[in-house]
Amino acid sequence: MLLAWCGLQSGYRQPRSPPPGQTGDLMPAWTPLTRSLKDLEGLQRAAGLLRWFRGYSPFPVAVMFHLTFRCNLQCPVCLQTPQRADLLALSHDELTLDEWQAVVDDLRRSFPVRPFIHLTGGEPTLYKDFLPLTNYVKQQGFRCSLTTNGVLLERHAARLVALGVDRLHVSLDGPAALHDLLRGLPGTFERAVAGVQALRAAREAQGQKKPLVTINCVISDANQEQLGDMIPIARQAGADSLSYQHLIFSDCSTRQPHNINLDRLAKAIPRLQAAAAAQGVAVTFFPKIPAQRLRDYYLGPEEALGGECLFPWLVIR
């Protein structure tokens, strides 16, 4: 497994050499957007490893476990929604706890530096052995994170703290009425916020600082005028940080008209940063796009980002 990942069998190589005079970094100085992505945890170190491996894949920074395709919401913008029937049919083929534990054991044996294991789905808390698997991941010495819609978070909060989960990402895309509309189910905002609050209370009760909780808010034309409302929501819920996420286009076919007013968004970003600082909320934007490049990104992300995608070199799914 290790040999295959290092590129000796996988064939993953750096597709393009940097211009003359550059350092050989996979994210060179002539790609300002990809350079800014080095702010992400571990990416600076990973870029150094890529240089050392001369474009071959070193051991991964992260491994994503897709525990299930099932979900308890009906978000109209989700890529899985049009395929819901087909994906639900695959739920009978979910890996067992023993099979997932074997994957964890393989990762522990294969890589000298243990990658970050991220649990996702669908909605990962619907996987019947979600907590036993999380426990096993932590027992084997891995750092572990989780992305959830938060609907079942309150139920699991105390246990997640006790297990030592490192980071939790909870999706909230607006105030209560808007969030529930975007999720297709009433009451989801209230349950997600209650889950974050329960997690914060469990941390205090158990004398722990983790898991760190980030509220993820995807920017869209539906919530563009209410992005500022997310700052007091994050603070009152007890989240450790708030992340505004620009739309991510997986390929040209997904770059549908989004109706986001880019001029207003560019002006709103510094105001949001200032408001968050004033209220003591740590805020980030992903990708970290300079205001003058915002239009380039939304109208042509593959050209605006430049460079090469690091995902195949750094992450296993």
- The tally of CA atoms less than 13 A away on the side-chain side of residue 102 is 5
Mean pLDDT of 201-208: 98
Q: Is the pTM of this model over 0.85?
A: no
DSSP letter at 307 equals S
Q: Please say if the pLDDT value at position 297 is more than 50.
A: yes
Cβ 25 vs Cβ 51: under 8 Å: yes
pLDDT digits (tens, 9 = 90+) for 22-53: 333 333 332 333 333 334 444 545 555 555 56
Mean pLDDT of 85-108: 85
pLDDT at residue number 90:
66
Q: Cα separation of 147 and 171, whole Å?
A: 8
pLDDT at residue number 298:
84
Residue found under tokens 């002006």:
267
Nearest to 35 by CA among 311, 307, 314, 315: 307
Domains within the chain, CATH numbers bracketed: 1-58 (no CATH), 63-249+256-307 (3.20.20.70)
53-57, 91-95, 192-196: range with lowest mean pLDDT: 53-57
pLDDT digits (tens, 9 = 90+) for 307-316: 566 777 788 8
Q: What is the mean pLDDT of the chain?
A: 81
Helices 188-206 and 176-183 pack at an angle, to 10 degrees, of 110
Cβ 208 vs Cβ 195: under 8 Å: no
Answer with the residue of higher pLDDT: 144 or 317: 144
Answer with the residue of higher pLDDT: 7 or 287: 287
pLDDT at residue number 81:
59
pLDDT digits (tens, 9 = 90+) for 269-289: 999 999 999 999 999 998 888
pLDDT digits (tens, 9 = 90+) for 141-176: 999 999 999 999 999 999 999 999 999 999 999 999
Cβ 33 vs Cβ 297: under 8 Å: yes
pLDDT at residue number 9:
29
Residue 4 CB partners (closer than 8 Å, separation 6+): 10
Q: Please say if the pLDDT value at position 2 is more than 90.
A: no
Q: In this structure, is the dihedral angle defined by the CA atoms of residues 173, 133, 40 and 200, taken in order, positive or negative?
A: positive
